[in-house]
Amino acid sequence: MQLKKYYIYRAVVFLLVAAYCLHTSSCASTKAAPSGGPKDTIPPTVLEVYPPEGAVNFPLQKGEITITFNEYVQIKDANKNILLSPPQKKPVKARIKKKGIVVEFQEPLDSNTTYSLNFGNSIADNNEGNILGGFSYSFSTGNVVDSMMLSGTVVDAVTLFPIENATIALYHNNTDSIAMTTLPAAVARSDKWGYFTVKNIKPIPYTVFAFSDENTNNKYDQGVEKIAFLDTLVVPTEVMRKDSPQLQYINPLDTAALQARPSQVELQLFQEKSLMQFIKDHKRFSRRGSYIKFNAADVQIDSFAIAGIKDEQIIRQFNITKDSLVFWVNEPGSLPDTLKLGIKYHKTDTSGNLSPATENLKLVAPIKKKKDKDERKSEKREDLLEFTIMSDNKKVEQEGIQFQFNEPLAVAGFDSITFTMSTPKQIKSNVEFSIVQDSLDMKKYTLLPSVQFVKGNDYLLKIPEGTFRDINGFYNDSTDVKITLPNNDNASSITVSLVNVDARYIVELINDTRSTVYRRYIINDDSELLFPYLDKGKYSIRITEDKNSNGLFDTGEYLTRKQAEKVMLYTLPGGTSVINLSERTDLVQDIDIAVMFGK
């Protein structure tokens, strides 16, 4: 009976507690944390640094730096974010001690040297992860702290977009391979906007480099990383002051303030051509077609033979940089599933020199995929020659009508094609044309009308069956292609007038993300270029100095100190490189090449 009363008593207590919890907030919830007020968004505050900022006669060995904060902090990616200038072979060690950080050096410091320790985004509070950005500390192992600085930007040499986390390296001398073999006299890293400030340096001449530094060893690794350098020595002229705009921390969201920071130099990162020569890849992509890709440009081939195939039956085609060779076997009979190729070429040996080497390659024909019943019903004839006709109505006036084939042609019967023009009044006439085979791609042809295209007229290209036959014996079906110039009343145009053109330049109209080229011209003297049929939107004008007249951007060479070909964006008077084009607008831009390229 007593036991029964005990259980009744416990049940009553439980019900009373449950009822109380339903009507009050006294009981803790198991589903959500109690409200703690507004979220903490304030980064940690530095209370004390010991030794103090600007300390002199810092010990060469076993020296420590202690930074005390107003709250507990954490260290994020110390090796990636904490940068010592000048750097050492071993990175600094940073550890948490109560509400502070202790920094230690893993090797002795140099005498009479000013050091700058930049913490990047490594320090954050322990609770919300609010980052203390822009914190740095300087000291000297001598009697004075160097106080000069150099600021600038790092951009990609082709896209001209800013490069983040590039290492900017300053050296006291200018030997050929210094960036590859020697730690810099001072370093900095670029931020999201490509901006950097090298701090606490001397007012003496420096050689200035930048490289992508993928492994953060503060040295340039040739063939793996990108590099940039200035042609002349630089003597810093800016003195570090507390109110210097180069030294102020700016909120990453304040775009205008970030872009307004003073910049003394610009470095354009480029990827060098590889110097190591070897066969990187090879493949047989069709029954008759194969390719070999080499690691470096301008390969030198001494002999090339396919077993059982006569040399005159092999069609060869190099790309413009001669690092890729495509070839076909022009043999009417069947070919074996495996072709044996012997090639003798100049390959980089273990000492880094080019020497003759012979390699034997097996080229296996691609396996034909089996088709299911439905695919077999809808499939085209096996000997159908398919090809692409490119006739963008916005570019056809400049580029003509382009034909792209997959394999070389054995028969190119362009004289069977008819090209007719029809006026709005339906008056038809034949248009004469010429055919040009691409000098770099034998599978590409361009049809160029003998008269200019006229807006409002219709053009019809009729290609009869069997006009083309490739080396496989495949032939085409009949095809009609209709071409009409754009007829958009809201379309706009940009006319670019270029003066003081003293060399060969590539002029391109691109979108604001620099991913699309709308039209491209190559000029050798003063010119007026029309970019028609443009939609409302944002555009930029990119100009490349084509020094070797190959129509391409050519990269630089570090050891010979050859700069990459210079690429620039036309900048409007307001400082922006983006043209906001409205509808029904015919815009004219005057560009002085001598001023733009600083000549």
Sheet holding 167-171, edge to edge: 186-189, 167-171, 207-211, 227-229
Beta strands in 438-536 (DSSP E): 444-449, 458-463, 468-470, 479-484, 492-499, 505-511, 517-523, 527-534
Answer for the pair 156, 164: CB distance below 8 angstroms, yes or no.
Answer: no
Within the chain, all domains assigned CATH 2.60.40.3710 are found at: 377-484
- Cα 456 to Cα 481: distance, rounded to the nearest angstrom: 17
Record: fold of 41-145: Immunoglobulin-like (2.60.40)
- Cα 49 to Cα 138: distance, rounded to the nearest angstrom: 11
pLDDT in the model for residue 178: 94
pLDDT digit string, tens, across residues 409-447: 999 999 999 999 999 989 999 999 999 999 999 999 999
Answer for the pair 401, 391: CB distance below 8 angstroms, yes or no.
Answer: yes
Cα of 198 vs its chain's centroid, Å: 25
Record: fold of 492-596: Immunoglobulin-like (2.60.40)
pLDDT in the model for residue 27: 43
CATH number of 377-484: 2.60.40.3710
pLDDT in the model for residue 24: 42
User: Average pLDDT for consecutive 10-residue bins of the chain (599 residues)?
Assistant: 44 46 41 53 89 94 92 86 93 90 94 93 84 89 95 95 96 91 96 95 96 93 94 94 89 85 95 93 96 96 96 95 95 91 96 94 88 64 92 91 96 96 92 95 96 91 97 95 89 96 96 93 96 95 93 92 94 91 95 91
pLDDT in the model for residue 489: 84
pLDDT in the model for residue 9: 46
pLDDT in the model for residue 36: 54
pLDDT digit string, tens, across residues 304-317: 999 999 999 999 99
Cβ neighbours of residue 440 under 8 Å, at least 6 residues apart? Answer: 319, 320
Tokens (6 digits) for 270: 């480029």
pLDDT digit string, tens, across residues 119-173: 888 888 888 888 888 889 999 999 999 999 999 999 999 999 999 999 999 999 8
CATH number of 279-364: 2.60.40
- Cα 236 to Cα 201: distance, rounded to the nearest angstrom: 8
Within the chain, all domains assigned CATH 2.60.40.10 are found at: 492-596
pLDDT digit string, tens, across residues 24-68: 443 433 334 445 556 767 888 899 999 999 999 999 998 999 999
Within the chain, all domains assigned CATH 2.60.40.1220 are found at: 41-145
Cα of 262 vs its chain's centroid, Å: 25
Answer for the pair 81, 122: CB distance below 8 angstroms, yes or no.
Answer: yes
